[in-house]
Amino acid sequence: MRTIIHLDMNSYFATVEQQSNPFLRGKPVCVAGKGSGERTVCAAASTEAKKFGIKSGFGIWEAKKLCPKIIVVPADYAKYQYISQKVFKILESYTPQVEVFSIDEAFADISHAVKDFLDAAPIAMEIKGRIQEEIGEYLKCSIGIAPNKLLAKLASEMVKPDGLTIIKKNDIDKILVKTPIEDFCGIGFRLKKRLNNLGVQTAKELGEFPLKSLIHLFGPHLGNLLHNMGQGRDDSEVLPYYQMPEEKSFGHSYTLPRDLTDTAEVKKVLLKLSEKVGRRLRKAGFMGRTFHLYVRFFDLSGYGQRMTLRAYINDGYQIYKIGERLLERYRPRKPIRMIGISVTNILHTSQISLPLLPEDIREEKVLAALDKINDKYGEFTVFRGALVEVKDRIENIPDGRNKRMMKLSF
């Protein structure tokens, strides 16, 4: 039988800040997604903040309403990623089969190292201890141990903070009886509502729901997946980064600190987002030719525009010019709240013919030189003059939670 560990760092961004700044320890802390303005959201809440009912995704104004003394700290994604890499390296010292699920979560298959679940518990405790000894004594994690990834993640959510929960094969049926369907990873609000309307509230009820009906209502893929989830089954393997499928898209979006009606100001934001996308494409070794612009307005309505080129590109400024054309095509007349740009239809650079025109070759060399400098000294150490006004105003736009890139950057 397989033995899978799921490690979940508790209140991760907030505890990293408390670890690095002892003044924050024991106090309600909210890590702001960007800056500390009222418009931004709480990317993470400390254990102390959660006692006031504050959760990730709350607006800063909501957090301050629940806890006027809350301390708002700007996010530092480079720091969080650096600590994550250290945590994942500890896991990899026990098994090469480590799958990074997000910046603060990972699966590890330790089947080869244990005879049964009782042998796994000391390993889990050792991992917890090493994180505190080697990285920071204020960092805590919850670990779930189970026969598969689905149940291991469920187990890690059962006791927080600093939990250790084991789901043995004989315990599965008892667990499913009392587990609400929304506790399973992958069942969000909309899917929960649809299942609730069918009279399905618990995992056991989902497992007993007729498979044919699930396939009819949700299609063969999702129908079978839901049926297996309801029965606690999951045959998916723990995939290290080098076994994972290639990236299919690259993109960034940004919720503005205030609604903007000035298109020129919106374009400045779009330029930085485009440069970030281009930088990520080049770092991963990809180029793309289909570009999608999305705009959300103050009333939460929105629109999307798409354009496909004949040639593949990964230059942030060229991506920006395409986004600019898409923005001007619609000419929005309502205040803009959020803007995003993404690239799909991508190929690895090894699959694309090299540029032949002198100006293209020169531009490619310039980009390579810029990337080399920014790799060494930090993002946007060297940047286009057009970004002067907006570079520091748009704070802490994180790279997408790209599992492979986090692992490859060790």
**Model pLDDT, residue 56:** 83
Lowest mean pLDDT among 30-34, 38-42, 345-349, 382-386: 382-386
Does 333 score more than 70 pLDDT? yes
Across 205-233, average pLDDT: 94
CATH 3.30.70.270 fits domain 1-167? yes
pLDDT tens digits for 22-72? 999 999 999 986 554 555 778 889 999 999 999 887 888 889 999 999 999
**Model pLDDT, residue 375:** 63
**Model pLDDT, residue 254:** 84
Does 389 score more than 60 pLDDT? no
**Model pLDDT, residue 18:** 96
**Model pLDDT, residue 385:** 59
Q: Please identify which residue in the block is written with the tokens 């009333």.
A: 299
> Between these two residues, 389 and 367, which has the higher pLDDT value?
367
Cis peptide before 161 (omega within 30 of 0): yes
**Model pLDDT, residue 399:** 42
The whole-chain average pLDDT of the chain stands at 84
Across 258-267, average pLDDT: 86
Q: How many whole angstroms separate alpha carbon 383 and alpha carbon 278?
A: 13
Q: Which CATH class is domain 245-408?
A: alpha beta
Q: How many whole angstroms separate alpha carbon 295 and alpha carbon 288?
A: 21
What superfamily would CATH give domain 175-242?
5' to 3' exonuclease, C-terminal subdomain (1.10.150.20)
CB atoms within 10 A of CB 51: 12
Q: How many whole angstroms separate alpha carbon 67 and alpha carbon 72?
A: 11
**Model pLDDT, residue 355:** 56
The answer to whether 304 and 290 are in contact (CB under 8 A) is: no
Does 73 score more than 80 pLDDT? yes
Across 6-24, average pLDDT: 95
Give 245's pLDDT tier (boundaries 50, 70, 90).
low
Give 381's pLDDT tier (boundaries 50, 70, 90).
low
What single DSSP character describes residue 180?
Answer: B
CB atoms within 10 A of CB 159: 13
Does 394 score more than 60 pLDDT? no
**Model pLDDT, residue 409:** 30
**Model pLDDT, residue 403:** 41
Specify which residues 42 forms β-bridges with. Answer: 32
Across 178-206, average pLDDT: 93
Share of the chain above pLDDT 90, in %: 50
Residues in the chain: 410
Does 388 score more than 60 pLDDT? no
Does 356 score more than 90 pLDDT? no
**Model pLDDT, residue 401:** 38
**Model pLDDT, residue 3:** 94
Structure tokens that stand for 116 in this block: 């049964």
**Model pLDDT, residue 361:** 57
Across 214-218, average pLDDT: 92
Lowest mean pLDDT among 149-153, 163-167, 190-194, 402-406: 402-406
> Between these two residues, 361 and 8, which has the higher pLDDT value?
8
> Between these two residues, 112 and 408, which has the higher pLDDT value?
112
If we measure between CA atoms, which residue out of 125, 116, 175 comes closest to residue 150? 175
| Secondary structure (H, E, C), the chain | CCCEEEEEECCHHHHHHHHHCHHHCCCCEEEECCCCCCCCEEEEECHHHHCCCCCCCCEHHHHHHHCCCCEEEECCHHHHHHHHHHHHHHHHCCCCCEEEEECCEEEEECHHHCCCHHHHHHHHHHHHHHHHHHCCCCCCEEEEEECCHHHHHHHHHHCCCCCEEECCHHHHHHHHHHCEHHHCCCCCHHHHHHHHHCCCCEHHHHHHCCHHHHHHHHCHHHHHHHHHHHCCCCCCCCCCHHHCCCCCCEEEEEEEEEEECCHHHHHHHHHHHHHHHHHHHHHHCEEEEEEEEEEEECCCCEEEEEEEEEEEECCHHHHHHHHHHHHHHHCCCCCEEEEEEEEEEEEEHHHCCCCCCHHHHHHHHHHHHHHHHHHHHCCCCCCCHHHCCCCCCCCCCCCCCCHHHHHHCC
CA distances from 132 to 25, 50, 54, 90, 126 (A): 15, 22, 26, 11, 10
Structure tokens that stand for 290 in this block: 């289909």
Give 166's pLDDT tier (boundaries 50, 70, 90).
very high
**Model pLDDT, residue 404:** 37
**Domains of the chain: which residue ranges?**
1-167, 175-242, 245-408
Across 362-371, average pLDDT: 66
Known catalytic membership, residue 92: no
Across 172-184, average pLDDT: 94
Point out the catalytic residue in the list 17, 99, 105, 324: 105
Four-residue CA torsion sign, 355, 356, 358, 359: negative
Does 392 score more than 70 pLDDT? no
**Model pLDDT, residue 359:** 59
